[in-house]
Amino acid sequence: MKEVKFLKCLVLVIFLLQSSLGAAFAQLTVFDLGEVVVSEDEIKQEDMSIEEKTKITQKTLKSHKVVDLAEILSDEMIEASMIRKSGYGNEVGLRGFTKSNLRFTLDNTLIEGSCGSRKDPPLSHINLLTVQKIEVKEGPYDVTVPGALGGDINIITKDAQKGFHGELLSKFGSYGYLSQGGYVTGGNDFSQVLLGYNYSRSSQYKDGDGNKLSSFNPSYNDAGKNMDAFNKNDFWGKISINTAKNQKMLISSSYGEANDIMTPRVAMDTEKEKTFLNKIEYSFKELSSFSEQLNLSAYYNRIEHYPYGEYRIGGVNNRRIEAISSITGIHIENKTLKETAVFTYGTDFYSRNWYGDIFDRTTGVIVNHELFPDVNELNFGLYAKTEKDIGKLSITAGLRMDIFHSQAEENLKFSKTITDTNSQTDFLPSANIFLKYFLTDDSNIFGGLGLTGRTPTTVERYVQESNTYYGNPDLKPSYNFETDLGFETKIVESLKIKTKGFFSYLPDYIYQQYNGGVRTYTNIDAYIFGGDMTASYDLSKYFMLEFGLAYQRGQKLTYPKGNNDNNLAEICPLKNKLALSYDKNGFFAIYEWLHSLDSKDIDRDAGETTLKGWDVFNLRLGYQFKEKEGKKSILDGLSLNFGIDNILDKEYTMANSYEYDPTDTSGTNVKIVNEPGRFIYGSLSYQF
């Protein structure tokens, strides 16, 4: 213990020294899902950034069998993993960080689900047709977002445009998968409007051994064994108004409703789920020499989640839950552009309310009024960052401070066996610095140091499921002290290689605890380290070979009660990817091999199980009709795509996950769900 305390103090001193120099950066990966019109001012700011960027085009998005955004991130990022929950609503992980250890935002507004067992992870509430690009920032390097312990994922939606444009998209595939939708946008120099709609549904898929989705949980009754996987409707709109010269107002709103979402990982399915996402933003450009761009925004995001046990046997059959989470926030940010540096500083505030009650499904009588005991969370943050070039050296640094307060307004009838505290105030400092040095025009080394923290969630602090599963109000915030180092080069014109590694020391890491028949949460000390490498080689003008490799490992330094396993949970084994692609005159094809080692370094005391390694082969191809030799055709804008995932129909599971289940009176670990077997799909889209 003395060594651990000394290590804590040593690391803290190092980071305080770094903070005194200035701190912070975000290594950024951008998945561009459509054409972006960039202004001259934006180009100037882009030139000052040292962010690492990768683009995924609209063509790539359409070519994937993508039911939710977690799948495209897992497919396109070698260091990303996906935790399969069902046919819809899956979880994503980055370099060993998952769930609440990542922060998810939509157009820079916070978005969180309302299910205690995360049947509705944040990305599941965002429809793919609304997405313009995805920004992925790994590590504790973004001071503009509160609580991004292991990184943050920001979804940028499509803007309304002038003129008249739109897209119609139809996707279809195995196991009754269907998605139909589209959007139209138009306007003039003063105002532009965008409106969209999408409907999607799917039956239960089967894994490579022919097992239906319902077979992964023995609690399904006869009706549940034959239910559909999900059906969902989404509506969205956006209005852009140029209120004055260099001033703009944006108003966006979306509504989604899903019904009968099958979730075999846990004890209940979801009868209905409603999503309300709303934002208004006002921006000023070139106000003065101290304000290149000023953004003022407010938002209200609300998720209503209604699990029920109609399709299950046992006591949960007569249960229904109402869980509602709402976030109201304000964000003010100013950017100053100088010849040698970009300065960004801002403040943000959000208030979140989350409550959950358990009812008798037939009588409507409340069984548990304090499942999530009407918790109010308040967070106020201030931040500043700068980006500066000094010769061949680029530096990004930043600081942030958050004050967070949480309070349960109802009784902690089970947690009081440990403590009677129902109110906490936390202070969270963040700081980082990131550097990139260009050895040549085609080669650079980069690295950084970062510190950030995240507060315990409502579930971790306050859940009141039973006297054998409850939250711990005395939990401390988790911190991530991380260092990153990488190298990027173009050996020859046709060969590009990029590799990077990281080490994260995690004091007071929030972890699940199972001791004496009681499940709750505690703080431990731990660390995660790993790295990844990507390479691409142009075999010819039209053929390209791509390779990716990622590995991470997590270890405990201290242990929860009843747990003596050294391994940290939810850490994926080595994963690699090899792909051959062809692209010529509108036609493209991609054949890829994905491989994972056995998942052996697991936390057995936390309930994880060994997963077999796997090899999967996928094929995607498509054709984009476009204008040829100045001759227009009615087919211009039409694209056709076809693909086969898991060509050899293998049975496999991607990743472990060990969250407890508030819908289960025993609070037991969730079930493991296999990936779909051979999945054949296609899409037809038309842009105008």
495-515 and 478-492: which strand pairing?
Answer: antiparallel
Q: pLDDT at position 201, please?
A: 95
* Three-class DSSP labels, 270-311: EEEEEEEEEEEEEEEEEEECCEEEEEEEEEEEEEEEEEECCC
The predicted structure's pLDDT at residue 61: 57
Is residue 7's pLDDT more than 50? no
Provide the pLDDT for residue 6. 38
pLDDT of 20 above 50: no
Who wins on pLDDT, 45 or 369? 369
Q: Residues 530, 536, 538, CA angle at the centre, nearest 5°?
A: 170
Is the per-residue pLDDT at 661 higher than 50?
A: yes
Type of residue at 183: Y
For 445-461, b where at least 16 C-beta lie within 10 A, e where not — what string?
ebbbbbbbbbbbbbbbb
Q: d(Cα 492, Cα 442) in Å, to the nearest integer?
A: 9
Alpha-carbon distance of 606 to 565, in angstroms, equals: 8
Share of the chain above pLDDT 70, in %: 89
Domain 21-687 classified CATH 2.40.170.20? yes
Quickly count: other Cβ atoms within 10 Å of residue 262's Cβ: 26
Give the pLDDT of residue 194: 97
Q: Which of 464, 364, 454, 460 is nearest to 409 (CA)?
A: 464
Lowest mean pLDDT among 64-68, 321-325, 438-442: 64-68
Distance CA(248)–CA(190), nearest Å, equals 10
Percent with pLDDT over 90 in the chain: 73
600 — phi, psi (to 5°)? -110, -35
The predicted structure's pLDDT at residue 326: 97
* Token pair 């699990």: residue: 307
Q: Please tell me the predicted confidence (pLDDT) of residue 516.
A: 84
Are 224 and 311 contacting, i.e. CB atoms less than 8 angstroms apart?
yes
Per-residue pLDDT band at 251 (split at 50, 70, 90): very high
Residue 204 main-chain phi, psi, to 5 deg: -70, 135
Question: Is residue 10 very low, low, confident or very high in pLDDT (cuts 50, 70, 90)?
Answer: very low
133 to 56, 57, 583: CA distances (angstroms): 8, 9, 22
Higher pLDDT, 21 or 110: 110
Domain locations along the chain? 21-687
pLDDT, average across residues 3-13: 40
Min mean pLDDT across 43-47, 463-467, 511-515 is at 43-47
pLDDT at 5 over 90: no
Q: What is the pTM of this model?
A: 0.89
Question: Is residue 109 a contact partner of residue 126, using CB atoms and an 8 Å limit?
Answer: no
For CA atoms 20, 21, 22, 27, give the dihedral sign: negative
Quote the pLDDT of residue 65: 67
> Cβ of 420: how many Cβ atoms within 10 Å?
10
Tokens 């977002």, located at residue: 145
| Model confidence at 21: pLDDT above 50 | no
pLDDT in tens, 531-573: 999 999 999 999 999 999 999 999 999 999 999 999 999 999 9
pLDDT of residue 339: 80
Q: Which pLDDT does position 89 carry in this prediction?
A: 86
pLDDT value of residue 30: 66
For the cut 60, the answer to whether the pLDDT of residue 500 exceeds it is yes
**What is the Cα–Cα distance from 362 to 63, expressed in whole angstroms?**
45
What is the number of residues in the chain?
688
DSSP reduced 3-state for 565: coil
Is the distance from CB of 258 to CB of 267 less than 8 angstroms?
Answer: no
**How high is the mean pLDDT of the chain?**
88
Asked whether 345 and 385 are in contact (CB, 8 A), the reply is yes
Q: Kindly tell me the burial class for residue 89, based on how many C-beta atoms sit within 10 Å of its own C-beta (0-12, 13-18, 19 or more).
A: buried
Q: What token pair was written down for 533?
A: 């490498």
For range 202-227, the mean pLDDT: 95
**Residue of 648, 597, 645, 647 whose CA lies nearest to 71:** 645
Which pLDDT belongs to residue 22? 32
DSSP codes, 418-434: T----EEEEEEEEEEEE
